[in-house]
Structure 1
Amino acid sequence: MTTSPAPNAPYPPTHKPPAIEAVGLTKTYGSGETLVHALNGVNLTIPAGKFVAIMGPSGSGKSTLLHCLAGLDRADQGGVRVGGMELTTLNDNQLTKLRREHIGFVFQAFNLVPTLTAAENIQLPFALAGKKVDQGWYQNVVHNLGLAERLSHKPSQLSGGQQQRVAIARALLTRPAVLFGDEPTGNLDTVTSAEVLRLLRTSVDQLNQTVVMVTHDPVAAGYADQVVLLADGQIAGILQHPTIEQITQRLTALREGAVNHA
């Protein structure tokens, strides 16, 4: 008779563990009449090596979910596991170390140091940690993101799209378990946004990266393998390889309150 492995048993060698597992995530703000349930029992599994977009109406909890998954905020209840590591049991110093070494971030603001060159900005996490950069991986990332000719330039000498590429390269250099993007194309024009989204798509397809992105833009979400829809702090649906039209229709339904919970 075949038995199932224990809940905490190692994954079989033929199966890759999920990049993220969230169970029963609950997060509230305020109290009494001002109490807001930002997350209300969210369960979510994100496979490794996939591009996932998180979407929902304003106030649906998507940014709160991203922050809890990335260890930037703590849920009131529930658990989060990233790359096999349980975040909810870590203290602040351990969380800081985990974010620095295993999680990448790309934000709407590029967050580059203006006095440093592109190369120095990309390698900054290693300089801060006192660690040596894997030059082979560094060259691979720089080549894939088309930055080889811009490494000596400072942020003021780069376009918005080039600055975001530098931010993506910096996030990828640590080989993170997950790269999180919080509206990463929010400050970019349409053409540059498409360029950055293609680069994120490339990081998944060619570098086997896991990308989780919060966005309000159906066009941006159209680059993802999976779209997670939120409403009122709960999962309201998951779309697999959806078209822009399908994403737009579901978002419209959520905004109108016609929520079909998955």
Structure 2
Amino acid sequence: MTPNLSTATEPSSLTTAAVAAQSLNKSYGRDNTTVQALRDVTVGFPAGRFTAIMGPSGSGKSTLMHCLAGLDSADSGSISLGGTEITALSDAELTRLRRDRVGFVFQAFNLIPTLTAEQNITLPVALAGGSVDRDWLRQISSILGLDDRLSHRPHELSGGQQQRVAVARALLTRPDVIFGDEPTGNLDSRSGAEVLSLLRRSSSEMGQSIIMVTHDPIAASYADRVVLMQDGRLVGELERSTPDAILAALSQLGA
């Protein structure tokens, strides 16, 4: 028995979602080696909420995130991001959309070692030829506790501080959504808790929409909602759950 799937597949919720997928299918390989990674997935991720996607290895959670973020293409179905249908966009249009309207926080911090923390935060804006909103930069630096670290280079920062820089970089352009792929996977428990608390604050205090793929029930417990996947399908969801409740739900899925 799996947890009850409530609003995740209700079409009425898709029109108000920051990101939504409708009847999404994705497979890899050919003939006898074909793997169906996504099977008719319909789901909406509400704006301003922090959602975790979980499931056993091979459940399709990373594939779903990659498709939602425009990093991979689906075989069929549609995806809307911030009101824009992205499945029909060209590669150049997808690149611009990811640059201007999507933020990413990965397990690897992906910071440029020769640049300061501030330069790493503002790098995407600089590469796009845009101008930095200095007031917003100061605000997010203060919220993330980076005020006295902006002139430091990555090797002068702790792992938790480096990931905070990555979070600030993702927030700087005020994206429609931030995707996190195991964002605390390379951090110790204390630093991981700090980054997860900051992601939660980014959602609750700044209205940021966040979608995080994780295998860690403790990390998922920071989210407003946990979407569960198995064999390429959505099979359940939990609202603001404890690590024990999330672990119990995953155990039912064989994770």
* TM-score normalised according to structure 2 size: 0.93
Matched, 1:57 2:59: no
For residues 134-188 of structure 1, give each alpha carbon's deviation from its aligned partner in whole angstroms, at most 9, with x where no partner exists.
Answer: 1111111111100000000000111000000000000000000000000000000
Q: Which residue of the partner structure matches residue 184 of structure 2?
A: 185
Partner of 2:46: 47
* Partners of 2:69 and 2:197 in 1: CA distance: 23
Quick check: 1:126–1:132 contact (8 Å CA) kept in 2? yes
Mapping of 1:46-125 within 5 angstroms?
Answer: 46-125=45-124
* One-letter amino acid of the counterpart of residue 129, structure 1: A
What residue in structure 2 maps to residue 161 of structure 1? 160
Say yes or no: does 1:224 pair with 2:223: yes
Partner of 1:88, secondary structure, is: coil
What CA distance in whole angstroms lies between the structure 2 residues aligned with 1:87 and 1:112?
28
Q: Distance in 2 between matches of 1:32 and 1:73?
A: 21
Q: Distance in 2 between matches of 1:70 and 1:46?
A: 12
CA distance in 2, matches of 1:207, 1:108: 23
Query: 1: CA distance between counterparts of 2:20 and 2:157?
Result: 37
Correspondence for 2:150: 151
Unpaired runs of at least 5, structure 2: 1-11
What secondary structure sits across from 2:174 in the alignment? coil
Q: 1 CA distance for matches of 2:120 and 2:37? A: 34
- 1:123 is matched by which residue type in structure 2? T
Letter in 2 for 1:190: S
Name the residue aligned to 1:129. Answer: 128
1:240 corresponds in structure 2 to: 239
**What residue ranges of structure 1 are gaps of 5+ in the alignment?**
1-10, 257-262
C-alpha contact (below 8 Å) 1:104/1:180 kept by paired residues: yes
| Structure with larger RCO (C-alpha < 8 A, sep 6+) | 2
Query: In the aligned structure 2, how far is the partner of 1:57 from the partner of 1:79?
Result: 25
CA deviation map 1:55-104 (0-9, x unaligned): 00000000000000001000011101011111101100000000000000
Q: 1:31: Cα distance to partner? A: 1.2
Quote the Cα distance in structure 2 between the aligned partners of 1:23 and 1:200: 27
Q: Which residue of 1 aligns with 2:3?
A: none
Q: For 1:230, what is the secondary structure of its paired residue?
A: strand
CA deviation digits over 1:195-247, x for unaligned, max 9?
Answer: 00000001001111011000000000000010000000000101111221111
| Partners of 2:56 and 2:17 in 1: CA distance | 27
Matched with 2:196 is 197
Q: How many residues align?
A: 242
Percent sequence identity over aligned pairs: 59
Contact 1:110 1:163 (8 Å CA) reproduced: yes
Quote the Cα distance in structure 1 between the aligned partners of 2:17 and 2:28. 29
Larger Rg: 1
Q: How large is the RMSD of aligned CA atoms in angstroms? A: 1.1
CA contact (8 A) 1:108 1:185 kept: yes
> 1:82, 1:39 → 2: CA distance?
18
Say whether the 8 Å CA contact 1:17–1:83 is kept in structure 2.
Answer: no
The corresponding residue for 1:4 is none
TM norm structure 1: 0.91
Q: Structure 2 CA distance, aligned partners of 1:77 and 1:255?
A: 28
Matched residue SS, 1:19: strand
Quote the Cα distance in structure 1 between the aligned partners of 2:178 and 2:242. Answer: 23
Distance apart, 1:17 and its partner CA: 2.5
